[in-house]
């Protein structure tokens, strides 16, 4: 198995991409510590350990990571705000950066000393193709946070490149997850919103969380030993042109 002997810590593992990553890493032999704001979502997850954790609670997050001693850290917690710059309130701006960026800052800060001491590790931050890579409609503050994730990823990768610790991020396109269905619901016309999202996909479909998890397995495993500091795009060709 590709992650035998490795320990992984994952935020937002209750559903969507985080859950698929947690279960795929478990299937590949990792000891997975799966966490989510909503503990009930973890009741049937296939992971060695699981518990409720608000990733925006700095002390709780950093303590949990220190105890878990992960070789692989997956910073997945994030929220999609819908709207242009005209719609964005200061509260939304603050919430978006607190959840999408500050949690990753705190998670990496807690995981790095142990990884360095043990001679290596792999940090996987979840960004998005809607970031500094492409603009998507109504993703003003969301894209700003996900661009910051790419910047943090590169900075950490460079500063730790000689320690054996690698830091990459995953930039998915549109992925089938509970929050995606909620966004379609919230648009007021579920079917029309779904059709519009699929229409912008060159492959004619959105991605699956399991497809994203396969990339996370690669980045978490030693197969990707020569890769650090990069934004790995997985978007069904959306950003190609
Ligand atoms: P989702 O949005 O359906 O689920 C998010 C999970 O995060 C939920 O289980 C929720 O309980 C948890 N969560 C929310 N606040 C939290 C907090 N404070 N602490 C811990 N957990 C918290 O899942 P998704 O759509 O797969 O999104 C996961 C990540 O992938 C996000 O960072 C998102 O921005 C990113 N992403 C998603 C897509 C997509 O199309 N689904 C595309 C690109 C990037």
**ipTM of the shown complex:** 0.99
Residues assigned a catalytic role: 142
Does residue 208 have its Cβ closer than 6 Å to ligand 1? Answer: no
Q: SS3 of 80, please?
A: coil
Measured between alpha carbons, how far apart are the two ends of the chain, in Å?
37
* 151-153-154 Cα angle (round to 5): 70
Q: Where in the chain is the domain with CATH 3.40.50.720?
A: 7-172+208-234
| Class of domain 7-172+208-234 (CATH, top level) | alpha beta
Biggest alpha carbon–alpha carbon distance for the chain: 52
| Spatial CB neighbours of 119, under 8 Å, sequence gap ≥ 6 | 163, 164
Low-confidence ranges of the chain (pLDDT < 70): none
The per-residue pLDDT for 241 is 83
What's the gap in Å between 52 CA and the centre of ligand 1?
15
The CA-atom distances, in angstroms, between 9 and each of 69, 124, 175, 236 are: 8, 10, 22, 27
Does residue 234 have its Cβ closer than 6 Å to ligand 1? Answer: no
The CA-atom distances, in angstroms, between 180 and each of 6, 72, 175, 177, 208 are: 31, 26, 7, 5, 11
Does residue 200 have its Cβ closer than 6 Å to ligand 1? Answer: no
Q: Roughly what angle, to the nearest 10 degrees, separates helices 90-97 and 140-159?
A: 30
Top mutation candidate among 22, 38, 77 for ligand 1, by most atoms within 8 Å of CB: 77
Does residue 180 have its Cβ closer than 6 Å to ligand 1? Answer: yes
The per-residue pLDDT for 79 is 97
What's the gap in Å between 124 CA and the centre of ligand 1?
14
């Amino acid at each position: 198995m590709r992650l035998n002997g490795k320990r992984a810590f994952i935020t937002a593992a209750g559903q969507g991409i985080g859950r698929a990553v947690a279960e795929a890493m478990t299937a590949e032999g990792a000891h997975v510590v799966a966490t989510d704001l909503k503990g009930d979502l973890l009741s049937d997850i296939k992971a060695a350990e699981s518990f409720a954790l608000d990733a925006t609670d700095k002390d709780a997050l950093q303590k949990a990571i220190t105890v878990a001693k992960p070789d692989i850290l997956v910073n997945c917690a994030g929220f999609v705000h819908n709207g242009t710059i005209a719609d964005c309130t200061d509260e939304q701006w603050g919430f978006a950066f607190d959840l999408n960026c500050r949690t990753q800052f705190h998670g990496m800060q807690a995981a790095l000393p142990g990884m360095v001491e043990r001679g290596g590790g792999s940090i996987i931050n979840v960004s998005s193709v809607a970031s500094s890579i492409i603009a998507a409609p109504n993703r003003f503050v969301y894209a700003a946070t996900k661009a910051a994730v790419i910047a943090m990823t590169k900075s950490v990768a460079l500063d730790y490149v000689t320690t054996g610790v690698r830091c990459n991020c995953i930039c998915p396109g549109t992925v089938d997850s509970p929050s995606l269905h909620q966004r379609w619901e919230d648009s007021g016309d579920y079917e029309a919103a779904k059709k519009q999202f699929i229409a912008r996909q060159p492959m004619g479909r959105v991605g699956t969380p399991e497809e994203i998890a396969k990339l996370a397995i690669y980045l978490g495993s030693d197969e990707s030993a020569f890769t650090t500091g990069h934004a790995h795009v997985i978007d069904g060709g959306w950003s190609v042109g």
